[in-house]
Structure 1
Amino acid sequence: MKHITLLILFVFTINSIFAQENNFKDQAIEQFKNENYASAIELMEKALNENPNDADVYYYLGFFNHFNAYDSRPLKGYNSDYSDKILNYLDKALELNPNYGDAKYFYFVECFAVAFTEYQRNNIDKVKEQVEKAYQKGVIPEWAIELGKTILNSCDKDAILFTHGDYSLNICLFVQLHYGYRKDVSLIPLSLLDRPSFDLVINENKNSDILRGVDLGITKEQILDMHPYKWDTTTVNLTVPSTLINQYSMPPNYTMDWVIEPDLYSERTVARIKGADVKKQAYLSSTRAMLLNIVETNKWTRPIYFTNTFESYYLAGLDQYFQNCGLVSKLTPINTKDTPFEINVSALETLVFVTELPKLKTIIDNDQPRASGIIGLYQSAYFILANHYKEQNDLEKNTEVIEKYKQNLMIGFKPDKEKGLLDYLEKMTK
C-alpha cells in the first residue's frame, strides 16, 4: 500500500510539473492581457525552453517584443539588434509554419516600424531597404497590394490622405515605394502626428517627389516644443474659396465652422480668470492640434481624404463633413448628413462597376487574420451604393450591384458572411 501511495504521489508530481511547463504559454498570454509585458516575455521564453518547436511560441515572442518596443513606454537599451531579434522569432515561426498568417503580419509591421524610424531620421534609402525586406520575405500578399493601389486610386490628384491602422498605411506606402505608384498622394498616419521627429520630416519634405509630406504651417521650434495645449471647446472658422462655395451651393462669405473639443483632461481644477467657473483643466492633444494645423494651413489647395478605417473619436468632429467615396472619405466644407453630398455616387460606381479585383481571392491562401478584415471596406462600399439605389427606387441598378458583388466579392473567404450580405442586398431589390 505504501508503494502504491508513493507511486501515486510521483505520478501526480510529474503531471503537475508537466502541466506547469505546458502552461507557461497560457500564463504569458494572461500576463500580456494584463499589460505586464516584461513578465509575458519572460514566461514565453520559458515556454520556448520547454518546447523549442512550437511555432506559436516564436510568434508570440515576436509579437510581444514588437509591442514592448513600440507601443509601451520607451524601451531601455532598444537598438537595431532588438528589431533583428523580433524578426528572428517571426522567421522561426514561419519556418515551422510557412502559412502562419499573423507571423507574416507582424514581420510586415516590424519592417515598417523600422522604416518609419529611418524616415524620422530622413534616411529614405533605408526606408526603402525595410520595405524591400518585407517584400522579399513574401509577407506582403497580393490582395493587400491590390487594396493599397485601389485606396490610392480613390483619391484625387495631389491628395493628402490621412490613414488609421498599420495596414492601411503600410500597404499604401509599399505600393508608392516599390512600384512608384501615386507618389503625388501624401500619406499621413494621424497617430504619428504627436511625434516631433515625424512632423519635422513631413514638413521638410512637403514638396518631395519620393515621400511627399505636408505643410504644417508652424516653425521648427514650435514642432520641437509640441505638448498638450490648454483648450476648451472652440469653433475654428475656416474660409472657403468661391469655387467650393459654388460647388456646394453655399451662400457668399460662407465659412466652415469646425467645433473642436478637447481630447485630454486632468484632475487639476482651474479658473482661467477671476469670476470664471472652476473646472477640470482640458487640453488639445498634439495629434489633434497638428490635424487642425494641416487642415487650416492647406486652405483647400489640396484635396484631403481619410481612409474609412477611423473610429470617430480620432476625427475631432471632421467626420460630419465627410463625403464617403467607398474606401476613403473626402473632406468637404459642409455638413454632408442628409444632403446629396453625403456619398460620392460616381466614386462608388467606379469602385463597384469598373474596378476589377482579380487578386482578392488570394486572401484564401494568404490570410493574415489580424489584418484581413480590412477587405470589409469593399463590402461596405457595395452596401452603401445599393442602399443609395434603394432610396432612389432604382431596383435595376441594385440588381447590377448584386451581380458585381457575386463576381468580385463572393470569393469563398468567409462564406457565411458573404452569403449574409448577399441576402441583404437581394432584399433591397424587393
Structure 2
Amino acid sequence: ARDFAKAYLDSCEPDAILFTMGDNDTFPLWYVQEVEGYRTDVRIVNLSLLNTDWYIDQMKRDAYDGKGVPFTMPHNLYKQGTRDQAIFKDVGVSDQRWEVSKMNRWIQSDLAQTKINYGGKDYVFFPTKKFSIPVDKEKVLANGTVKQENADLILPNLNWTLPEKITSMEKKHMLILDMIDNNNWERPIYFSITIGNSARSYTYLWDYFQLDGLAYRLVPIKTKSQPGRIGRIESDILYTSLMERFEYGNMNGAEVYLDETNLRLVMNIRNNFSRLADKLILEGDSAAAIKVLDKCLELMPNEKVEYNFFVLPMLENYYECKEKEKARAIIATIAQNLEEKLNYYNQFDQNKDVKNEKQRSLSMYNSIVKIAYAHDDVDYADVLANSFQENISKAELN
C-alpha cells in the first residue's frame, strides 16, 4: 500500500490536484504525506467526501506544501442542505453549449429563475447538459501541460455533454466545475485510475485524459476512449513512471498475499504496462516494448496474478515484436489455467452457473487460438485448436 500510494503521487506533476474516490486510493496517500512527509505539494481531493461542507472548507485551505484547491463558491452556497444537488430542467436552451463560467454563475445565483421546486423543496436546476472549457494555448504550452511538439493537437475548447441518463449533479460535480473554471489551466489536474467507470465517474471527461501512471491528467487534447483504454499516452512519461520511478515492493514475492482489493489495482497496473507496450510498438520502438512486457511479467507472474483477459494484448505485443517463444509461453500458461478450470467444472451438474463458467473459459481459449493464427504461428495454433475442440467436447454444453 505504501509503494502504491507513492506511485499515485509520483504520477502527478508538482502542485497538482489529485481526485481520488474511495478508501484504498486515499488513506495510504494520506499516510505517506502525513507521516513520511512525501509529496506534500499534491492536494488530494476525495470525491466521496466532496459532498460535505466541512471537507470543502478544508480543501480551500493550504496544507503542508500544497496550495488550497481553487474552489470559489462561498460557504453559504454549499453548506449542508444547500445545493446538495442540482436538477436538469429543459427550458428551451438544452441545445446550447455553455462555458463552465456561465454555468457556475447560474448555479451560484440565488435568483428565483434558477430554482425549481421538487418534492416541496427548492433546488437549483441546470438548463443544458452541454459544457465547454476554454483553453489558453500559450499557457498550457508554457507550463508543460502539453508538449511543444503536440501544439497542433491543442483544442480551443474542451466540449462535453452529460449522458442522457444523468438528470442531476451532486454538490461535488458543481464544485469540480467551479474548480476547473477558476484553475484556468494553472495547476495540473488528475483523476486516479480507480475512480470507476460509472456514468457519474466523469466518463464525459475520458476523452481529455492522459494516462501518466496511476492517474489520468486532464489535457486539452481529445483522444477517443473506451473501457479499459482510457485517454492518450505520452510514452516517455508513462515509461518513466512504470519502469523507473515506481517501486513495487514485494508484490511478486511468494510469501506476499494479494487480496481482491490489491488484485484489482494490480490488474490496472498490468493493463497500463500493456498499453505502454502498444504505444511503443506503434512508435517503432520494439526493444523498449519488450523491456516493458518482460518487466510486467516479472512483477505479475501467473502464480501471483492469474493471466486473464488483460494479458491477451501483451500476448499479441510479443508476437508483433517477433518474440514468438515468449508469446507461446504465455499461451501455454493460459491454456493450462483454462483446462484446469474446465476439468474442475466438468465434475458438477450442468446448471446455469456452471455452464456460464465453462463458456467463459472456452471463449478465452478460443481467443488464444485466434491470436496464434492471426500472427501466422500456424503449427502451434493447430495444436491449440485440437486441444480446444477436445475441451469443447468434454464440456458437453449442448
The TM-score range, normalised by the shorter chain, is 0.5 to 0.7
Q: Is the 8 A contact 1:263 1:283 kept in 2?
A: no
Question: Which of residues 170, 186, 202 is equivalent to 2:59?
Answer: 202
1:290 matched to which residue of 2?
175
Which residues of structure 1 form unaligned runs of 5+?
1-143, 266-281
Q: Which amino acid aligns with 1:348?
A: L
2:16 matches 1:159: yes
Distance in 2 (alpha carbons) for counterparts of 1:264 and 1:395: 43
Residues 194, 373 of structure 1: CA spacing in aligned structure 2 closer, same or farther, 3 A cutoff?
same
Residues 175, 366 of structure 1: CA spacing in aligned structure 2 closer, same or farther, 3 A cutoff?
farther
SS for the counterpart of 2:69 is coil
2:74 matched to which residue of 1?
219
Q: Deviations over 1:173-231 (max 9, x none)?
A: 1211121110100111122222222112212x2x2217764121111111212232212
2:151 matched to which residue of 1?
249
Distance in 2 (alpha carbons) for counterparts of 1:349 and 1:256: 29
SS for the counterpart of 1:168 is coil
Q: What is the correspondence of 1:126-165 to structure 2 with a 5 Å cutoff?
A: 144-165=1-22
1:304 matched to which residue of 2?
189
Higher relative contact order (Cα pairs below 8 Å, separated by 6+ residues): 2
SS for the counterpart of 2:301 is coil
What is the Cα deviation at residue 171 of structure 1?
Answer: 1.6
Q: Is the 8 A contact 2:250 2:256 kept in 1?
A: no
Question: Which of residues 243, 253, 256 is equivalent to 1:353?
Answer: 243
Q: Which amino acid aligns with 1:234?
A: K
What is the Cα deviation at residue 302 of structure 1?
Answer: 0.8
1:28 matched to which residue of 2?
none
Q: What is the correspondence of 1:301-380 to structure 2 with a 5 Å cutoff?
A: 301-312=186-197, 313=199, 314-315=201-202, 317-337=204-224, 342-355=232-245, 356-361=247-252, 365-380=256-271
Q: Deviations over 1:30-68 (max 9, x none)?
A: xxxxxxxxxxxxxxxxxxxxxxxxxxxxxxxxxxxxxxx
Q: Is the 8 A contact 2:211 2:232 kept in 1?
A: yes
Q: Is the 8 A contact 1:146 1:360 kept in 2?
A: no
1:258 matched to which residue of 2?
159
Q: Deviations over 1:254-297 (max 9, x none)?
A: 632333427876xxxxxxxxxxxxxxxx4322221111111111
> How high is the TM-score relative to the length of structure 2?
0.59
Q: Which amino acid aligns with 2:318?
A: E
Radius of gyration: which is bigger? 1
Question: Which of residues 9, 21, 34 is equivalent to 1:177?
Answer: 34
Q: Is the 8 A contact 2:32 2:38 kept in 1?
A: yes
Residues 402, 213 of structure 1: CA spacing in aligned structure 2 closer, same or farther, 3 A cutoff?
same
Q: Which amino acid aligns with 1:426?
A: Y
Q: How many residues align?
A: 266
What is the Cα deviation at residue 245 of structure 1?
Answer: 5.5
Q: What is the correspondence of 1:22-33 to structure 2 with a 5 Å cutoff?
A: none
SS for the counterpart of 1:293 is helix
Name the structure with the higher helix share.
1
2:278 matches 1:382: no
> How high is the TM-score relative to the length of structure 1?
0.55
Q: Which amino acid aligns with 1:240?
A: D
Q: Is the 8 A contact 1:260 1:316 kept in 2?
A: no
SS for the counterpart of 2:233 is coil
Q: Which amino acid aligns with 2:275?
A: I
Distance in 1 (alpha carbons) for counterparts of 2:300 and 2:68: 34
SS for the counterpart of 2:232 is coil
What is the Cα deviation at residue 423 of structure 1?
Answer: 3.4
User: Which piece of structure 1 moves more, 221-230 or 149-158?
Assistant: 221-230
Residues 223, 382 of structure 1: CA spacing in aligned structure 2 closer, same or farther, 3 A cutoff?
same
Q: What is the correspondence of 1:390-409 to structure 2 with a 5 Å cutoff?
A: 390-409=281-300
Q: Which amino acid aligns with 2:58?
A: V
Distance in 2 (alpha carbons) for counterparts of 1:233 and 1:285: 14
1:428 matched to which residue of 2?
320
What is the Cα deviation at residue 238 of structure 1?
Answer: 2.6
Distance in 2 (alpha carbons) for counterparts of 1:259 and 1:291: 14
Q: Which amino acid aligns with 2:156?
A: T
SS for the counterpart of 1:330 is strand
Measured on the aligned residues, the alpha-carbon RMSD in Å equals: 3.0
Q: Is the 8 A contact 1:184 1:209 kept in 2?
A: yes
Q: Is the 8 A contact 1:322 1:329 kept in 2?
A: yes
Distance in 1 (alpha carbons) for counterparts of 2:254 and 2:31: 18
Q: Is the 8 A contact 1:163 1:309 kept in 2?
A: yes
SS for the counterpart of 1:187 is strand
Residues 406, 177 of structure 1: CA spacing in aligned structure 2 closer, same or farther, 3 A cutoff?
same
Distance in 2 (alpha carbons) for counterparts of 1:411 and 1:145: 23
Distance in 2 (alpha carbons) for counterparts of 1:349 and 1:220: 42
Question: Which of residues 195, 216, 233 is equivalent to 2:129?
Answer: 233
SS for the counterpart of 1:360 is coil
What is the Cα deviation at residue 389 of structure 1?
Answer: 2.2
Residues 227, 415 of structure 1: CA spacing in aligned structure 2 closer, same or farther, 3 A cutoff?
closer
What is the Cα deviation at residue 372 of structure 1?
Answer: 3.3
Q: What is the correspondence of 1:38-57 to structure 2 with a 5 Å cutoff?
A: none
Distance in 1 (alpha carbons) for counterparts of 2:163 and 2:224: 23
Distance in 2 (alpha carbons) for counterparts of 1:378 and 1:155: 16
2:102 matched to which residue of 1?
none
